[in-house]
Amino acid sequence: MKTSQLTPSRLVLALLAAGAIGGAGATAVSGSVSMAANAPSVATAPQTINTSSPPNFAQITRDFGPAVVNISVSGTRKVSADDDDPFAQFFGQIPGSRGRMPAREVPMRGEGSGFIISNDGIILTNAHVVQDAREVTVKLTDRREYKAKVLGADPQTDVAVLKIDAKDLPVVKVGDVNQLQVGEWVLAIGSPYGLENTATAGIVSAKGRSLPDDTSVPFIQTDVAVNPGNSGGPLFNDRGEVVGINSQIYSRTGGFQGLSFSIPIDVAYKIKDQILEHGKVQHARLGVTVQEVNQDLANSFKLESPSGALVSSVEKGSAADKAGLQPGDVVRKIDGKTIVSSGDLASLITLSSPGEKIKMDVWRAGGPKELVATLGGIPKDKTQASAGEQDVQRGQLGLALRPLSPQEQQASGTEGLLIERAAGPAAKAGIEPGDVLLSLNGVPVHNVGQVKEALSKAGKTVALLVQRGEDKIFVPVQIG
């Protein structure tokens, strides 16, 4: 379960707000009662409140609990030897040493949840549940266990798709997130702390919530008790339909504190469909940097309210640039959907497809304007990074590379390819982001095409010559 921490200032403000509202409410009620005893009676219109009882959570759990699975993963992760040294925090780096102790691989185990969406074994869960996993085991409520294959994972939305070799499995029903309302009852089933098929209930606190460190998903916020191990489990509405995947919590302790966030099921299905059809996920890109609109900025731009996404920069040649978007524009709607905060814009664009056309309602120079943009895809260097991640799944090298800029060549005194990300076999061998790849099996490489060509002729092990700082070293990498 991903956790985030509220800053002290935000927490204090929240507590003060709660105290002010609660205190004022108590005082007002008390005062009304004492005055009512001496005041003349006044006829008021009766108020009708729907007092319907909570849904039958027991029935929902009986019907769909068998489709919720426990997921256990095993693998390795890299840690520095300093992490195991109890005195490192007191003495820090040893004088005369060149850096931290070398990283080493340590065993990693974890648990999460998931749910079956087709009776032939397709399962949805969180990407962070299966991250770095070498082996994934799915356990059903009837105690049967299966080895699972990760068909694909999208870290940007935190959605992963698994497959087990089984038939006639129980499945969940999928609901319509658009019909979900704030205040509705919801139910979560998962494996918090490894306690399988645990059910917890609450209400929807908010919809379309953008988190500070994650603007790709319009989260459903609830007060359902969600803890480590609930990640990837389903969030049911009061009709027993899955409306979300439990993904994150806000916490200062690592445990539940009343703020849980779920990925809307329509977002998860969009990612699932791409993975099943193409084996990977493509996200659209507009090519702008945006910021929030506060009251001062709203006054400056003559906006009625502080809402929208303020464009601070536009990437040259991007979809935004071609559409005519300019710094200082405030994007207020995308295809008729209101943009309240900058996170709303990021969510809508990320969940669109490259090549898709969008209509933008923009506020410019004190007046409205309409623009149409044809969304682009991930830039070439980042596309290569995605390809590298796909290669990791197929037992390949696992590097995201790009050519050095002239300034970087001058600073490093060499030519080669900058390693932007390392995963899989390369990361296991000790390759790190920031290293410069000089050659592969003795063949100098200056572009990604040369790396691919060298790999096509390589065996199960390749020798990478990398430069790290002023040092050059050959690193053997097993890719078979």
Residues noted as catalytic: 128, 158, 231
Q: Give, in order, the Cα–Cα distances in Å from 234 to each of 125, 158, 168, 175, 245.
A: 9, 14, 20, 11, 5
Among residues 259, 217, 265, 272, the alpha carbon closest in space to that of 245 is found at 265
Question: Which phi-psi region, left, alpha or beta, contains residue 333 (left: φ > 0; alpha: ψ -120 to 50)?
Answer: beta
DSSP string, 60-115: HHHHHGGGEEEEEEEEEEEEEGGGG-TTHHHH-SPTT--SSPPEEEEEEEEEEEEE
Amino acid at residue number 239: R
Output the six-digit token pair for 373. 């943009």
CA-CA distances (angstroms) from residue 154 to 311, 384, 397? 27, 15, 19
Cα–Cα distance measured from residue 135 to residue 211, given in angstroms and rounded to the nearest whole number: 31
CA distances to 29, 82, 334, 351 from 372, in Å: 53, 53, 10, 17
The distance from CA 464 to its chain's CA centroid, rounded to whole angstroms, is: 32
Q: Which of 383, 400, 380 is nearest to 392 (CA)?
A: 400
Q: Which residue's structure tokens are 């403000």?
A: 13
Is residue 123 within 8 Å of residue 271, measured between CB atoms?
Answer: no
Polymer length in residues for the chain: 480
Residue 51 carries which DSSP code?
A: -
Among 417, 435, 439, 418, smallest CA distance to 427 is for: 435
Question: What tokens does 313 get?
Answer: 């920069």
117, 123 contact by CB (below 8 A): yes
